[in-house]
Structure 1
């Protein structure tokens, strides 16, 4: 009888509870809030605007017909999609000084996520800065490149310190 190369159950580390998360650490669909869903749909729509140069009204209509949209916060989706599209140049101007490369070198997914984060930090004052940041990191983890979420985190963290200076300063966890 040969020995197995697998560790015996007693030498394995204890299994960690991953309630509400997929095997990759991303939140499961059932555990997402209506606002989280609206950010996902806004990201998909903004991607179509960025990459396909599609008309915002057409993208809006298309996105509303997607499965699961009824579970999203449609008012927040409207604010994100139309706000980001209308203020794209202003959002890019906010983001650009925090980048270590040209904007054209940022993936379209991360670019759209940065728009969402910048827009929420600037205009959605009912969304705490940490929530805006964490939601965008989650979007980048789920839809972006391998380490895109780290880049998004760094850029939006810097932007939060500019746009929400008092809120960040009052946060005991902020470095």
Structure 2
């Protein structure tokens, strides 16, 4: 049981680190290799500027970060389709954009992670950065994405259109 809890916490840490790395890459024009090296050497599981960065499952962190970058052409249109009419991913604040991209990658390409668990995890990540409506937006967008790409997990549930 303790191992499972530890792995869950390390995956949560990996998700948080991926969002931070994606944000860092966007504002600094760093590449994936540089971001991976920096986060693994200096951020993950360490205290930086008085902030504790949780331990992370490194293989999961690497897969998420590389996957979001490599699959961005498939991910971004999926998010755009889930956003409210008149909104596009380009108009979304950069940390929020990183959260949506990482969550959408996981929903589209990591079938080993249950959709509801992934959505919940990224809503938690959003709460780490935002105290307003943003976590609700993450929940709504990722729920829409999940129902589109993993409808079988939602069959028979309210809002699924199937009974």
Instruction: Give the TM-score of the pair, scaled to structure 2.
Output: 0.81
Asked if 1:56 corresponds to 2:32, the answer is yes
Largest Rg, 1 or 2: 1
1:1-150 equivalences in 2 (<5 Å): 33-65=9-41, 66-68=43-45, 71-100=55-84, 101-144=87-130, 146-150=132-136
Does the CA contact (< 8 Å) of 2:17 and 2:44 recur in 1? no
Q: Does 2:161 correspond to 1:154?
A: no
Question: Offset at 1:124?
Answer: 1.0
Unpaired runs of at least 5, structure 2:
1-5, 47-53
Q: Of Structure 1 and Structure 2, which has the larger fraction of its residues in helix?
A: 2
The alpha carbon displacement at 1:54 in A equals 1.3
Structure 1, unpaired ranges of 5+: 1-29
Q: 2:44, 2:55 within 8 Å by CA — same for their partners in 1?
A: no
Q: Is the 8 A contact 1:37 1:71 kept in 2?
A: yes
TM-score w.r.t. structure 1 length? 0.75
CA contact (8 A) 1:83 1:119 kept: yes
Contact 1:109 1:144 in 2 (8 A): no
Cα deviations across residues 118-175 of structure 1 (Å, max 9, x unaligned)?
Answer: 11111111111110000010111112362111111111110110111111115x5766
Q: CA RMSD in A?
A: 2.0
Structure 2: distance between partners of 1:108 and 1:144: 12
